[in-house]
Amino acid sequence: MLRVAVIQTCATNDRVRNHDEVARLLRQAASDRPGLIALPENWAWIGPDDEKLAQIETEEGPSICLLKELAREAQSWIMGGTVLMPGPADESRAYNTAIVISPAGEVTATYQKVHLFDVEVPGGAILNETKLVAPGEDVVVAPAGDLQLGLSVCYDLRFSWLYRELAHRGANMLCVPAAFTVPTGSLHWEVLLRARAIESLCYVVAPAQTGRHSPTRKSWGHSMIVDPYGGIIAQRPEGVGVVMADLDLERVSTLRKNMPVLDHDRGPRSWEVTR
């Protein structure tokens, strides 16, 4: 059995405040000794576009150093949501980067968000992520103790081929740190998470942003942990806090043996083919 904690936050453009909130919640989660603690997308900062590039940091920056310190303190793996990290050589865009940190406080894997969110929601948010963020190029499965973490971020959730590829590469848990908008989240978030779990026969861990970040931006929340058969094990609909569950990792291998959908898959199985 493996205990997993998922943290739900409401980030703003005050990075110090966001750091303090995540440190408090992560220490709260660590008191129950989880093997993995997962954070949402953009946990360190959400704010206006004209301030975005100023938030870029390296592995030695304040946000990642905080997570390293907290991982050592908790003696837990941390799936560190996403942080803006240096992008392509022209320096005009960042990578929206998911991070995995070991209990020793070392960054063991990173994943740059592949699918970027350029959408105008009627009556809702207008987001143009590609303006300041570059798409990643790699599919990443990150070892974390007994876990094989299939990394993804938010809008990636709509592209099922990515999760099938992660499952074929050995993932037994899919991580989906997110900041879903309210209009799309209310209709699609739960459905898509459960579908990704069912089709890949993986646990899905989905830490999310919640509430109002600014007068013009609000997130759906509903952080959850989903069973590889599609059942919701734990969920926090609204509000900042922690949701936790004990997972049986043998369930993944048992279900894949009893329902060998990955063995029967005849679709494209290569990132190079699919993209």
By annotation, the residues acting in catalysis are: 41, 113, 154
**Is the backbone of residue 199 left (phi > 0), alpha (psi -120 to 50) or beta?**
alpha
* CA-wise closest residue to 33 among 9, 8, 1, 80: 1
Helices (H), the chain: 15-30, 62-74, 160-168, 182-184, 190-200, 250-258, 261-264, 271-274
Q: Which of 168, 194, 175, 196 is nearest to 268 (CA)?
A: 168
Helix (H, G, I), strand (E, B) or coil at 31: coil
> Cα 196 from chain centroid?
14
Q: What are the tokens at 221?
A: 């929340």
CA 17 to chain centre: 21
